[in-house]
Structures are given as C-alpha cells and as structure tokens.
C-alpha cells in the first residue's frame, strides 16, 4: 500500500489550496453555491472518532455515499497525552490516512478538533487544574493539531470550573479567551508556514450551544471587534455552535430555532453547527433549516456495543454446542472496564449521585455502559477479549468485524441520506 502524504488528494482540497482558502471554508461555500443551483441544501456530517472501528466504518460509508466526511476529535479522545483512544494528533491523522488508503477512498476528509478549551477535557476537571494550566495545555494541543495537519479547530473556552455551579461565564470573558486561543493558533501556524485553517466557536457552557439570540449576537459582534483589534480581521469562524433543541437526553431537533440562528450566522458569514445529533428523530430537517453541519458520536459507540452484544449471543450459542472452548465474556468485561474508568460518573443525574454503577436500575446502567464504552475501547483487557470473541466466531465461519462495521455504517448511512450528502462529490463538480 502506498503511503499518503496528505489525508486526501480530492479536487476540493486542491482547489482550496490554490485559492489560499481553508478547505472547510471552501467546502461550505461550494455546498452553499450548489444548494442555490439545485434547490437542495446539505448539512455536513461530523463524525466523532471514538474508536478505530468507527473511523473505519465512517470512511466506508462515505466512500459508498460518494460524499465528504469530517472527523471531529475531542481532546478527551485524541491529544498530546494520547487520550482514551491511545492516539496523539499525529498518530490519529496517520491512522485516518492508512484506513482511507486501505479502501482507496478518494473523497474529501476533514480533520477537526472538537471542544478545544479549558476544563472541557475531563483530565483538567478531575485533577483540579487552574485556568493558566488549562490554557497552556490547550495551546500545546492546538500546536500539535496544526502540526499534524488538522483542517479546523473548535475554540471552546465556555467552561470555567472556578465559578459556582450553574454560573455562566460572561460573554466578554468567552470572547477574550476565544481570541487568545485563536491568536496563539494563528501565530503557530504562520511560524510553521502552514496553510490557513478553519475555526469553529461556541458560546454557552453546555459544550458551546446558544440558548439566547441576544447573547448570540453580542458574542459574534464582540468577537468580530476583538479579532480586528488583534490584527486578525482575516480570521473568522466558519461554524458557530447553536443550541437547536438537542442535548444529552433529548432527540428532537427544533427547525424554527435553527432557522433563526442560521439566518443570523449567515449575516456574519458563518454556518450553524449542531451538537448532540445522536439518534435525532428528524435529521432530514437539518438541511431544510439551513444547518451547516452536525456532530454525531455516542450513537456510533452504542451501535458498536449493540453489535458486540449480537456477537456475544452467537458466541454463547456456539459455546452451548461445544464449538467454542473459552468464551470471551466481552459484555461483562465492558461493564467492568467502564465501571473501573469512573468516567460514567459525570453523566449521573442528581438523584443518582453517590451510587455505584451496579446499583442503578438496569436501563440507566445499560445506557451508562453503552455511552461509556467509548472511554475504554482501547484498554488492553477489552482489546484482548474482543480479539478472542472475533477468533471464536471466525473459526465457526462468521465475519465478526463485518457485522460490527455494518451496524455502525447503517447509522452513518441514515445521516448521509438525511443530510443530502449522497453523491455530493459528483454534484460539487457543477460548481468547482
């Protein structure tokens, strides 16, 4: 297999580089132009790469759909300390290159950092870091991402663990910290002589959402003035994260709110980005409402878990028929590792605080295990037991990895269709 020098060699990236425009900005402008031509708007799908299997599935689904794909990696997942995937920024980009080349994927791949800001990385909160330590870490993470070839940075200094619970940061403070991080990133990029990159910003503690139109406008107007004051008037975020009805426990997208936010963002030259799109009930309303992009992540982890549960059931039947010598006990191991990680505790409801994972009602326990699996896929015990599970099934004529990939791809296909992304690579030729 020939090693790739860049993450992709798509015509879109080539034309963006010739124009001296960040590739994500270039793509979004061309998608907007195409929507005007076709009367059919699109929403870019941003995949949270919470496991190597999800990365592989996303590339396969994007190749089948003949569409671009964006990977949005959080600092919890991929970082200078290797995060919970075990990957640094450079290793992550290399892995995507390898997986793309393995299936000869020729479309556009956008590599992005998701939620780059103080205390948004769990380690910052768990270890009780102060603001300066957090900001210094985030700046080093930005440098590593830029050096690795990331196309977009989500600048998200909307959390402050030094404030009393329930207190929201003043908009002016969010703007000040946003500009500080963007300025640092731009200085590093220029020092390294690297091409321009895109930015995404957010303005509310709940991971960058926007709940109030007045705050939204104050933030964008203030950000514009602050960037200009620092000589960064040529830098402007392509995405602004908007609160559009979905969060960790809700799945109904609000088209009316999205439409209002989208129109306001467009007046500033940006697009609205939705987070918490997992299992959304009405994904087809995203492009209709003018949404520029949407993140999906925990859903893919749950589908990966569900597929492994299917394999575990097959393994159990094979064991009962004495066709397997040693069971993997994969589901028990996943529960144990999630419990041991302690990461599930951040999702506890107020009435559940202080309880052990195993003390919770079955439905809640299963939800916490499924969503918490993203933190432990790379743990040695999980990797070993998964390998045993696959081997047990392979020896009996099954194709276990295909079963898991298919489950995740089915979820991905839903979004490629609903977001009007199918055949986008071909359709974009009309405007390139």
Return the H-helix or E-strand segment holding 247.
Answer: none
Cα 63 from Cα 418, distance rounded (Å): 16
Q: Report yes or no: 93 and 131 within 8 Å, Cβ to Cβ.
A: no
What are phi and psi for residue 232, nearest 5 degrees? Answer: -115, 30
pLDDT of res. 203: 57
Q: Report yes or no: 283 and 258 within 8 Å, Cβ to Cβ.
A: no
The CB-side HSE value for 428 (13 A sphere, CA atoms) comes to: 25
Handedness of CA 127, 133, 136, 139 (dihedral sign): positive
Beta strands 293-296 and 109-116 are: unpaired
pTM of this structure: 0.94
Return the H-helix or E-strand segment holding 306.
Answer: helix 298-320
For the chain, list residues with pLDDT below 50. 204-210
pLDDT of res. 276: 86
The CB-side HSE value for 111 (13 A sphere, CA atoms) comes to: 23
**Around Cβ 127, how many Cβ atoms within 10 Å?**
8
What are phi and psi for residue 113, nearest 5 degrees? Answer: -95, 135
Segment 208-218, tens digit of pLDDT: 344 567 888 88
Tokens 């990797």 found at: 383
Segment 172-196, tens digit of pLDDT: 999 999 999 999 999 999 999 999 9
Q: Report yes or no: 207 and 169 within 8 Å, Cβ to Cβ.
A: no
Q: Report yes or no: 372 and 366 within 8 Å, Cβ to Cβ.
A: no
Residues 6+ away with beta carbon under 8 Å from 126 = none
């Amino acid at each position: 297999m020939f090693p790739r020098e860049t993450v992709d060699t798509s015509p879109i990236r080539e034309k963006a580089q010739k124009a001296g425009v960040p590739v994500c900005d270039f793509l979004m402008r061309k998608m907007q132009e195409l929507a005007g031509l076709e009367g059919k708007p699109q929403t870019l799908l941003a995949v949270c790469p919470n496991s190597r299997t999800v990365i592989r599935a996303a590339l396969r689904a994007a190749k089948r759909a003949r569409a671009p794909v964006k990977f949005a990696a959080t600092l919890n997942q991929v970082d200078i300390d290797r995060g919970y995937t075990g990957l640094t920024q450079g290793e992550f980009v290399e892995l995507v290159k390898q997986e793309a080349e393995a299936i000869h994927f020729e479309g556009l791949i956008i590599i992005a950092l998701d939620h780059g800001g103080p205390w948004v990385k769990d380690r910052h909160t768990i270890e009780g870091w102060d603001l300066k330590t957090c900001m210094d870490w985030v700046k080093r993470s930005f440098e590593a991402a830029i050096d690795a070839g990331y196309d977009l940075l989500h600048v998200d200094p909307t959390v402050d663990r030094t404030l009393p619970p329930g207190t929201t940061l003043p908009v002016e403070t969010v703007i000040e910290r946003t500009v500080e991080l963007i300025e640092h990133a731009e200085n590093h990029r220029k020092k390294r002589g690297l091409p321009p990159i895109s930015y995404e910003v957010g303005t509310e503690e709940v991971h960058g959402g926007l709940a109030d139109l007045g705050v939204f406008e104050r933030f964008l107007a203030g950000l514009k003035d602050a960037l200009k004051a620092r000589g960064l008037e040529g830098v402007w975020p392509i995405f602004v994260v908007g609160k559009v009805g979905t969060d960790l426990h809700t799945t109904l997208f609000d088209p009316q709110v999205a439409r209002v936010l989208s129109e306001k963002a467009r007046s500033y030259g940006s697009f609205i980005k939705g987070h918490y799109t997992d299992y959304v009930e009405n994904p087809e309303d995203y492009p209709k409402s003018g949404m520029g992009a949407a993140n999906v992540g925990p859903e893919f982890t749950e589908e990966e878990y569900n597929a492994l549960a299917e394999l575990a059931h097959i393994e159990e039947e094979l064991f009962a028929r004495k066709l397997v010598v040693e069971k993997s006990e994969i589901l028990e191991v996943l529960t144990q590792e999630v419990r041991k990680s302690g990461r599930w505790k951040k999702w506890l409801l107020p009435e559940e605080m202080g309880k052990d994972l195993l003390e919770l009602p079955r439905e809640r326990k299963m939800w916490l295990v499924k969503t918490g699996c993203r933190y432990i896929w790379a743990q040695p015990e999980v990797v070993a037991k998964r390998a045993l599970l696959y081997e047990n099934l392979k020896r009996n004529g099954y194709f276990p990895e295909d079963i898991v990939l298919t489950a995740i791809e089915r979820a991905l296909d839903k979004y490629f269709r609903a977001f009007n992304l199918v055949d986008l690579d071909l359709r974009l030729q009309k405007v390139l």
